[in-house]
Amino acid sequence: MNQINPPKGTHDIYDLEGVANQYIETIFSSLCGFYGFSYAQTPIFEHTELFERGVGDSSDIVRKEMYTFKDKGDRFITLRPEGTAGIMRAIVSNKLYANTDLPLKYFYSGEVFRYERPQQGRFREFHQLGVEEVGVNSIYNDIEVILLGYSILQTLGLKDVKLKINSLGDKQSRDNYRAALKDFFADKIDDMCEDCHDRYNTNPLRILDCKVEHDQEIVRHAPIMRNYLTEKAETDFVETLEVLNAFGIPYEVDNNLVRGLDYYSGVVFEFHYTSKTGQNYGAIGAGGHYDHLVEEIGGPALEGIGFAFGLERLYAVMRDDSLLEGIDEGLDFYVMSVGTKSFTDAFSLLTSLRASGFKCESSFDGKGFKQLFKRANRKKAKFAIIIGDDEVDKEVVTIKNMLTEEQFMVPYAQVIDKADELIDELEAHSHHHE
């Protein structure tokens, strides 16, 4: 029969990528915990209107990239194209702002969907790890969130992260800037792409994001946001940068960074990273401050700040820079039974070892030692425990250190104690070398 291919832009995750994703999620959630964030989950699909209002009508996401369909009850449903809008909706639906101290701090992870042209580091189904801090009123909340993102990347071993940062100011600043952009592009827009015509009318800020080369040339000479910030917005931005300096967080102000989602105001940022292979996967994470998003979806006037990492991109740069070696810790013991007489005893040993907290495995297909040692090596077992027919008769096992090849016999009754001792010894040894 014909094989069925995966849909374009999707991918299966297994082996190293599977282990890596769990590792990345563990580091991510543990650091979020340290910063006082708690875990939240929202539906993978929402009413289409949520994203139209939240992410915004003028964004590429809403205009072109959403997986939207009518369900059997004739409702317009959309597979989430990002995580922020859903968290805001949950905050409003459950009135979370009413019975908890502000700011609310949530982290989340899961799949998101965008109908984009697939390429290196760009999928139609991908995974985001994100945080949102809502009900904020100090630049220190912004800084806390940026610092969290930065520390997660440092902890994952991505040392040379480039933090690009800009400010989109408050509404007044953006109104001023939009007017200036309209002036600037008025006599140029006829020469620009079809999308830019639309953007000129709906949201001229989006023109700055245009990927068409000819248009980028024109954009290069456009006025910059920074010069249209109100005094308050400029002061906040300068203060934010000063605190980042004080904490030794390297950044680069990028005047053209406007971000593709409509909800941003104030500080916006992206984390970039070039792996040793020189491969560019785009931003590995991005976020910013939003003033009116909660109101936009029917809640009170609460400001927030957040970011999301792209899990596929984190994995790709870590793999390229060999940061994943050793994260698969492997088994403590590989139990080898040879000869059918030993299966029962081997299985019972395997069960006791697991109950005592050791990672172990065995196989029951009657293969010989040579094969079993190969398997144990592939599973990165620290020790092999061998039970052959001879051993069963004597009620002993042979334990072999897979690294040093040293081996010795241990009576059945003492195997668990010995296992404890061996693993403790190994751990003490590895700490000693750290």
**Residue 82 CB, nearest approach to ligand HAM (Å):** 3
Q: How many CB atoms lie within 10 A of CB 39?
A: 11
**Residue 283 CB, nearest approach to ligand HAM (Å):** 4
**Residue 108 CB, nearest approach to ligand HAM (Å):** 10
Q: Give the interface with ligand HAM as residue ranges (CB under 6 A).
A: 82-84, 114, 116, 121-123, 126, 128, 130, 132, 260-261, 283-288, 306-310, 312-313
Provide the 8-state DSSP code for 2: P
CA–CA separation, 410 and 189 (whole Å): 82
Measured from the CB atom, is 299 or 400 closer to ligand HAM?
A: 299
31-to-26, 153, 415 alpha-carbon distances in Å: 9, 10, 38
**Ramachandran quadrant class, 309 (left: phi over 0; alpha: psi -120 to 50; beta: rest):** beta
Residue 64 token pair = 């072109």
Hey, what amino acid is at 227?
N
Angle at 323 between CA 320 and CA 326, to 5 degrees: 125
**91 SS3 class:** helix
**Residue 197 CB, nearest approach to ligand HAM (Å):** 23
CA neighbor of 32 nearest in space, from 127, 135, 147? 147
Provide the 8-state DSSP code for 207: G
Measured from the CB atom, is 143 or 218 closer to ligand HAM?
A: 143
**327 SS3 class:** coil
Q: Which residue reads 């502000």 in tokens?
A: 102
Measured from the CB atom, is 106 or 383 closer to ligand HAM?
A: 106
**Residue 285 CB, nearest approach to ligand HAM (Å):** 5
CA neighbor of 23 nearest in space, from 314, 423, 283? 314
Measured from the CB atom, is 204 or 285 closer to ligand HAM?
A: 285
Measured from the CB atom, is 260 or 339 closer to ligand HAM?
A: 260
**Residue 272 CB, nearest approach to ligand HAM (Å):** 9
Measured from the CB atom, is 84 or 275 closer to ligand HAM?
A: 84
Measured from the CB atom, is 35 or 347 closer to ligand HAM?
A: 35
Q: How many CB atoms lie within 10 A of CB 352?
A: 15
Phi and psi for 300 in degrees, rounded to 5? Answer: -75, 170
Measured from the CB atom, is 122 or 354 closer to ligand HAM?
A: 122
CA–CA separation, 184 and 417 (whole Å): 78
**Residue 157 CB, nearest approach to ligand HAM (Å):** 17
CA–CA separation, 108 and 368 (whole Å): 47
Chain residue at closest Cβ approach to ligand HAM:
310
**Residue 355 CB, nearest approach to ligand HAM (Å):** 41
